[in-house]
Amino acid sequence: MSLFDDTEPAAGPAARRAAGTAGEAAPGTPLAERIRPRNLDEVVGQAAVVGPSGFLRRAIAEDRVPSLVFWGPPGSGKTTLALIIARETDARFVPFSAVTAGIKEVKEVMADAARLRRATGRRTLVFVDEIHRFNKAQQDAFLPWVERGDIVLVGATTENPSFEVISALLSRCRVVVLEPLPEADTVRLLERALADAERGLGGLGLTAEPEALAALARLADGDARAALNLLELAAAEAGRGGAIDAATVHRVAQRRALRYDKAGEEHFNLISALHKSLRESDPDAALYWLARMLAAGEEPHYLARRMVRFASEDVGLADPAALPQALAAWDSYRRLGTPEGELALAQAALYLALAPKSNAAYKAYGAARQAVEENPAEAPPKAILNAPTRLMKGLGYGAGYVYAHDVEEGVGGIDCLPEALAGTRFYRPTDRGFEAELGERLERFRELREAVKGRREE
């Protein structure tokens, strides 16, 4: 019987516990699959979920597992926990892959689940791997069956379910956040795999230096499956009875496999980290996150665009040179490419981190946009309208206009905003960097305009 196809009504928890033992592993099965935990006691890490006081352990013991969404990075145990729930509870287990399953298949399985529950009282546990790949209609298909209790839905996703799972379904599931495996737990998992003669590599007579296991754990970056795959490669490199040392690890993993999805959660997490490090004026953190994203394969032009945006949004006129610096870095990268051009991006990041900060321009533009939405059709004051024809002059276009250069103060004392917005202040400069001087200029010009206007009205 397959671990993924418990369709026999008589197959209870005991049968599921027996499934998937080492003796059933087909020749050539990857180490990560052979060593997959069969019960909660074998799970390494995720103590908050499966530890002695973890909710999942209690729910399984009471056979009251609710619908769940496991959210975590690759190799954090999402599929493993779903399989353990299936073995340890009295539910029929049906898997779906969101990559291949269609809505017709979903509805057929849901109908079978309803019939099974009515006939025997037994529920069906439906495991949906990569549930974020199901569209809204496919996710909607589960909703009535979850509401009636015919199925226990267990979804697995690497993406933030707040954005990827429809709210109606998410509200009926408990989201379980799974963390990347800490380095110490990863080392413990590797040691177990090396020692296990039944399912692991214990029969090969291998030895492993602690430094080598630590290096494998760092390379895996919290991904248990990646760690075991790397260990299997290192074991093959070392050979039966061989030693796994740092040199062995270096040969099988020339480059760290960073966990990064340029279109997913990790992408937005890291760009947020870069942006906030710049805003916090922390050049070391900014350089780290920039280097992290570049090493993971992020598009350098995307990073350059974000820094150009930052130069206006978070630095603004506190340092008018910030925008040219960011644009120059982008242009330099266009000309040099990788790796030489990355230094220009690093230089821009340092400049932006150390520049005085102001979001006054950003806020001023936002306020102006809001004013446009609220007053979309206000006419300009006639004084600042051109009057190229006699008709337009007769209608008052340009009446009262004063050429600023003809006035000693350099301003004509004219109201330039629409009448409905007269006196509105959008731009409120800070007292940081160059913007402090701009604030003084702004107040001086306002005073001059009022003085000239008052003199004209006398």
- Candidates 244, 242, 218, 246; CA nearest to 231 is 244
Select the highest-mean-pLDDT range: 16-20, 121-125, 192-196. Answer: 192-196
Q: Where are the alpha helices (H) located in 91-245, listed in sequence order?
A: 103-120, 136-148, 161-164, 167-170, 183-195, 210-220, 224-238
Structure confidence at residue 122 (pLDDT): 80
Residue 62 CA to residue 300 CA, distance in Å, equals 52
According to DSSP, the β-strands at 151-157 and 174-177 are unpaired
Q: Is 409 a residue whose pLDDT tops 50?
A: yes
Q: How confident is the model at residue 16 (pLDDT cuts 50, 70, 90)?
A: very low
Candidates 78, 227, 45, 67; CA nearest to 157 is: 78
Give burial (CB, 10 Å; 0-12/13-18/19+) of 291: middle
Length of the chain: 458
Pick from 184-198, 236-250, 349-363: least confident: 236-250
Residue 62 has pLDDT above 90, yes or no: no
- What pLDDT is attached to residue 6? 41
60 neighbors 161 (Cβ within 8 angstroms): no
Task: Tell me what the mean pLDDT of segment 382-389 comes to.
Answer: 90
Task: Give the confidence band of 261 by pLDDT, cuts at 50, 70, 90.
Answer: low
% the chain with pLDDT above 90: 47
> Binning pLDDT at 50, 70 and 90, where does residue 265 land?
low
Question: What average pLDDT score do residues 135-152 get?
Answer: 85
Q: If pLDDT is split at 50, 70 and 90, which confidence band does 2 have?
A: very low
Average pLDDT (421-434) is: 92
pLDDT of 254 reads: 59
Amino acid sitting at position 30: P
Confidence (pLDDT) at 27: 54
> Number of C-alpha atoms within 13 angstroms, CB side, residue 149?
6
Selection from 234, 232, 226 nearest residue 257 by Cα: 226
Output the CA–CA distances (angstroms, integers) from residue 142 to 80, 109, 168, 212, 453, in the order listed.
Answer: 22, 10, 10, 46, 70
Please report the pLDDT score of residue 444 as a whole number. 93
Tens digit of pLDDT for each residue in 345-375? 999 999 999 999 999 999 999 999 999 988 8
Query: What local confidence, expressed as pLDDT, does residue 263 receive?
Result: 57
Q: Taking 50 as the threshold, does the pLDDT of residue 291 lie above it?
A: yes
Main-chain dihedrals φ then ψ at residue 127, nearest 5 degrees: -100, 120
Q: Is 163 exposed, middle or buried (0-12, 13-18, 19+ CB in 10 A)?
A: exposed
User: Is pLDDT larger for residue 406 or for residue 14?
Assistant: 406
Give the three-class secondary structure for 430: coil
Give CA–CA dist 140/168, Å, rounded: 8
154 to each of 68, 126, 131, 212, 229, how far by Cα in Å?
5, 6, 9, 36, 26
Place of tokens 């230089």: 347
> How far is Cα 126 from Cα 68, in angstroms, rounded to an integer?
10
pLDDT of 277 reads: 95
- Does residue 10 surpass a pLDDT of 90? no
How far apart, in whole angstroms, are the C-alpha atoms of residue 288 and residue 274?
Answer: 8
∠254-260-67 over CA atoms, to 5°? 130
Q: Dihedral, CA atoms, 80, 83, 87, 91, nearest 10 degrees?
A: 140
Q: In what order do the strands lie in the sheet with 124-129?
A: 92-97, 124-129, 151-157, 68-71, 174-177
- pLDDT at residue 259, rounded to an integer: 56
Distance CA 133, CA 135 (A): 6
Mean pLDDT of 117-132: 85
For residue 123, what pLDDT is reported? 81
Residues of the chain with pLDDT > 70, as a percent, come to 90
Cα 391 from Cα 423, distance rounded (Å): 30
Cross-strand partners of 458: none
Instruction: State how far Cα 198 lies from the chain centre.
Output: 39
Instruction: Please report which confidence band the pLDDT of residue 159 belongs to, taking 50, 70 and 90 as the band edges.
Output: confident
Residue 8's pLDDT band, with cuts at 50, 70 and 90, is very low
Specify the pLDDT at position 97.
Answer: 72
| Pairing status of strand 124-129 against strand 92-97 | parallel
Winning range, highest mean pLDDT, from 39-43, 293-297, 321-325: 321-325
Which pLDDT score is estimated for 218? 87
Give 135's pLDDT tier (boundaries 50, 70, 90): confident
pLDDT at 376: 84
Q: Where does residue 354 rank: exposed (0-12), middle (13-18), buried (19+ CB within 10 A)?
A: middle
Mean pLDDT estimate for the chain: 85
Domains by residue range for the chain, with CATH: 13-177 (3.40.50.300), 183-252 (1.10.8.60), 265-354 (1.20.272.10), 378-457 (1.10.3710)
pLDDT at 171 over 80: yes
